[in-house]
Amino acid sequence: MRKLLIGTMLASSVGAAAYAQDVGRVEVLHWWTSGGEAAALDVLKKDLESKGVTWADMPVAGGGGEQAMTALRARVTAGNAPTAVQMLGFDILDWAQQGVVADLNQIASEEGWEEVVPDALKQFSKYEDTWIAAPVNVHSTNWVWINKEALDAAGGKAPETWDELITVLDKMQENGITPLGHGGQAWQDATIFDAVVLSLGTDFYKASMIDLDPEALGGEKMGEAFARMEKLRSYVDDNFSGRDWNLASSMVIEGEAGMQMMGDWAKGEFLNADQTPGEDFVCIRFPGTQGAVTFNSDQFVMFQVGDEQREAQLMMASAIMDPGFQIAFNTVKGSVPARTDVPNEEFDDCGKKGMADLAEANTNGTLYGSMAHGHANPAAVKNAMYDVITQHFNGEISTDDAPAELAAAVEAVK
Ligand code: BGC
């Protein structure tokens, strides 16, 4: 009898343990497929696995997430949305409007998200007072990543102005390397464009990229921005067309190219190649943009799913918002935490700078959503801009014509 009782107790406690451990499965759509991105994603996967959540991976390659968004549309149309989806800015609000995303208000209020997520992110994490996404990080696009040895060979001084930048690029050319490592894809061209426009003034960035003022879009200053793009184009190698951004990072890591103008996800590639900031590479704000930040934040938007997935979905949202996780993930990813209450000690010098720059820009009113990464305007406007920027970069639109083309393309869709 006694034996039987213990046996029953054991069976039920084993049953309970197994139940507690198996919280369910999350299917996650994302575009983190490069070496550095995969390493960061692994931090999230392992964290969830340790909590009994099974990870079903749905990677769709392509920086900026355009292809991932196409894949998402197909899934939702088929009535089979993933549990969670990596998403940027205005795309989040688009999906919220369609009424297919989940309500995270209860967990957000239990965990006090309201107090720790800055307004700049909350405008995308919430829709009509409902939390619909968990922000995992803040990236910014106005960075330059420079090979240290190549910089030393070019005089050793990190450029602070446009003219200094051109001097360094010229010197790198003389030294026989590709000055600018770049991949010819629309979103990468647009990422440089973010920084170039910002380098011509914060008011100009706001007027053109955010407020879509036709005069700013089509005016003289925009002519200067396109002239700068044309100049930068002259430092790119012949094989740049279609190249993935992480391969351009590899060129800088290996010293084949001098620098890359890219968001701080590039740092993830340098770290993944065992490089150290200050020793092997140098991170600077794009010359002329010091004190301002064009940001984008990766958020996991939770979609409406069946009850059997709900617990795992909430567990994922909660895990993402955990301060310890935000440190573990972002130190690998190259981004900075989405929470304002996370200490910076475990971040490297570029990460510390990223956190300080973000706080400073937020206080000074010089924090702007990145056009290239969907935080300045809805996708239709972004794509209209991409087309003109990329055609100009490829010489299909002249620098003289580009501002008017940009203004017209935006006017047609806004
Ligand atoms: C995302 C980053 C990602 C990068 C390149 C950006 O839009 O915010 O997380 O690393 O694209 O894939």
pLDDT, tens digit, for every residue of 29-83?
999 999 999 999 999 999 999 999 999 999 999 988 999 999 999 999 999 999 9
Q: Which residues pair with 138 in a beta bridge?
A: 336
Mean pLDDT (whole number) for 344-359: 98
Mean pLDDT (whole number) for 214-238: 98
Distances (CA, A) of 209 to 57, 202, 239, 330, 335: 34, 10, 30, 27, 23
Q: How many percent of the chain have pLDDT more than 70?
A: 95
Predicted TM-score (pTM) of the model is 0.94
Indicate the pLDDT class of residue 320, thresholds 50, 70 and 90: very high
Looking at residue 63, its pLDDT comes to 87
Instruction: Tell me the C-alpha distance between 189 and 195, whole Å.
Output: 10
Residue of minimum CA distance from atom 8 in ligand 1: 298
Mean pLDDT (whole number) for 155-177: 98
* CA triple 143-147-150, angle to 5 deg: 130
Mean pLDDT (whole number) for 173-191: 98
Looking at residue 10, its pLDDT comes to 37
Contact predicate 221/204, CB 8 Å: yes
Instruction: Tell me the C-alpha distance between 318 and 121, whole Å.
Output: 17
Element (H, E) at 65: none
Looking at residue 21, its pLDDT comes to 77
Average the pLDDT over each of 1-5, 161-165, 298-302, 319-323 and give the range with the smallest value.
1-5
Instruction: Tell me the C-alpha distance between 278 and 349, whole Å.
Output: 8
Q: Residue for token digits 């925009």?
A: 222
Mean pLDDT (whole number) for 111-128: 98
* Mean pLDDT of all residues belonging to the chain: 95
DSSP state of 293: E
Looking at residue 34, its pLDDT comes to 97
How many A from CA of 155 to the centre of ligand 1?
32
Mean pLDDT (whole number) for 220-233: 98
DSSP state of 191: H
pLDDT for residue 97 is more than 90: yes
CB atoms within 10 A of CB 243: 19
Mean pLDDT (whole number) for 171-177: 98
Phi, psi angle pair for 363, to nearest 5°: -70, -40
Alpha-carbon dihedral sign for residues 210, 394, 37, 348: negative
Ligand 1 nearest atom to the CA of residue 298, by list position = 8
How many A from CA of 10 to the centre of ligand 1?
48
Mean pLDDT (whole number) for 220-229: 99
Mean pLDDT (whole number) for 93-102: 97
How many A from CA of 260 to the centre of ligand 1?
15
Ligand 1 binding pocket (C-beta < 6 A) is: 31, 37, 63-65, 88, 139, 265, 296, 298, 373
Contact predicate 92/336, CB 8 Å: no
* β-pairing verdict for 293-296 and 367-369: parallel
DSSP state of 367: E
Mean pLDDT (whole number) for 316-320: 98
Long-range contacts made by residues 212-220, C-beta under 8 angstroms, separation at least 24?
212/377, 212/381, 212/410, 212/414, 214/407, 214/410, 214/411, 217/403, 217/406, 217/407, 217/410, 218/403, 218/404, 218/406, 218/407, 218/408, 219/403, 220/403
In tens, the pLDDT along 68-79 reads: 999 999 999 999
For residue 20, what are the contacts with CB-CB under 8 A and spacing of at least 6?
A: 52
For residue 259, what are the contacts with CB-CB under 8 A and spacing of at least 6?
A: 144, 145, 146, 147, 150, 151, 168, 169, 172, 179, 180, 181, 252
Q: How many percent of the chain have pLDDT more than 90?
A: 94
Ligand 1 nearest atom to the CA of residue 63, by list position = 12
How many A from CA of 265 to the centre of ligand 1?
6
Looking at residue 377, its pLDDT comes to 98
What 3-state DSSP class applies to 135?
strand
Mean pLDDT (whole number) for 264-270: 98
Instruction: Tell me the C-alpha distance between 228 and 261, whole Å.
Output: 13
